[in-house]
Amino acid sequence: MALKKKDLLGIDYLEKAEIEEIISTAESFKEVSTRDIKKVPALRGRTIVNLFFEPSTRTRTSFELAAKRLSADIINISSSTSSVVKGETLLDTARNIEAMNSDMIIVRHSMSGAPMILAKALKSSVINAGDGSHEHPSQALLDLFTIKERLGRVEGLNIAIIGDIAHSRVARSNILCLNKMGANVRLCGPATLIPADIEKMGAKVYFRPEDAIDGADVVMMLRIQMERQKSGLFPGVREYSRFFGLNQERVRLAKEGVIIMHPGPINRGVEISTEVADGPYSVILDQVTNGVAVRMAIIYLLTEGRGAI
């Protein structure tokens, strides 16, 4: 089986069966990463472009490693949205890149919906590596992979996502993904950081982390951006940390065997205390490892789906 689509733009556009296919393919690719020679020849001769309009060493490196382990050629292009100021539009940039005969473009952009513009206009496959506050599908898929790996299943689990839901593409992709897989999604944060209508996406909103964590199988913490404080969305780090930060006391409310996740990079002592981040239930580093396998699966299945392998 393969993904019968040109692009991976978001979890919103994936069927449950497609998600399962990505996860099971990632399982076999994870094995590749444990070999001495961590490389398969599947995508030899393919050209992939990492097009990052927003700096992100973590995601860019993960995609780069994934492409290299599939033997594809990968080019990194960091562009700034300020090229718009120079008169070049997103489409101009992308068409220039495609003129170099790229097969796939992995795009990270600070504005929601930007990858959709590329997908519509280009023949290359487009993978959304994070767009504005919209989606970050590969992150949600690697989170799903990690949960399944650790807990054996996803259906019926209580999963709490805590932090700045409003500005988080990780939260949106996870809400959609976990919902499709039958988990119960709980959201928590101050009301200033939770959109009023987010429950319509299939989640329950809590304002007290104690309530959201109570009996949770998974607790996912989101990074809090300091600039939100300046725009008046919460009064300060100290108060945020006290009311919404994850510490050991709060972890104890969760179910026995709870796993703690964070998409990184973490703010130690702000949304998560050091002892929790480094504690036995933390799977933060597994998330990073699994990211490569999941991204290999996404790249591989999209290419295969186009009959290119």
Residue 116 φ then ψ, to 5°: -65, -35
Task: Establish if 201 lies at the interface with another protein (CB under 8 A).
Answer: yes
Residue 126's closest CA among 303, 307, 309, 304?
303
Residue 159 in tokens: 């999963």
Could you give the C-alpha distances from 39 to 7, 66, 121, 271, in angstroms and in order?
24, 9, 32, 37
Burial of 159 (0-12, 13-18, 19+ CB in 10 A): buried
Which range, of 63-71, 195-203, 204-212, 301-309, touches another protein by CB under 8 A?
Answer: 195-203
Q: Least Å distance between CB 28 and another protein?
A: 32
Q: Least Å distance between CB 186 and another protein?
A: 16
Residue 142's closest CA among 130, 131, 133?
130
Q: Least Å distance between CB 285 and another protein?
A: 28
Residue with tokens 């449950």: 16
Task: Establish if 227 lies at the interface with another protein (CB under 8 A).
Answer: no
Which range, of 39-47, 143-151, 194-202, 275-283, touches another protein by CB under 8 A?
Answer: 194-202
Taking the C-alpha atoms of residue 235 and residue 226, their distance in angstroms, rounded to an integer, is 11
Taking the C-alpha atoms of residue 165 and residue 90, their distance in angstroms, rounded to an integer, is 27
Residue with tokens 């990194």: 76
Task: Establish if 205 lies at the interface with another protein (CB under 8 A).
Answer: no
Q: Least Å distance between CB 180 and another protein?
A: 14
**Which of 113, 215, 264, 279 contacts another protein by CB under 8 A?**
113
Which range, of 33-41, 44-52, 84-92, 209-217, touches another protein by CB under 8 A?
Answer: 84-92
Around Cβ 45, how many Cβ atoms within 10 Å?
A: 10
**Which of 20, 33, 68, 132 contacts another protein by CB under 8 A?**
132
User: Is 109 or 148 the residue whose CB approaches another protein more closely?
Assistant: 109
Site string for another protein, 164-193 (x = CB under 8 A): -----x--x---------------------
**Which of 196, 256, 257, 280 contacts another protein by CB under 8 A?**
196
Taking the C-alpha atoms of residue 266 and residue 276, their distance in angstroms, rounded to an integer, is 11
User: Is 66 or 90 the residue whose CB approaches another protein more closely?
Assistant: 90
Task: Establish if 134 lies at the interface with another protein (CB under 8 A).
Answer: yes
Taking the C-alpha atoms of residue 92 and residue 122, their distance in angstroms, rounded to an integer, is 11
Which residues contact another protein (rule: CB under 8 A)?
12, 84, 89-91, 109, 111-114, 116-117, 131-135, 169, 172, 195-198, 200-201
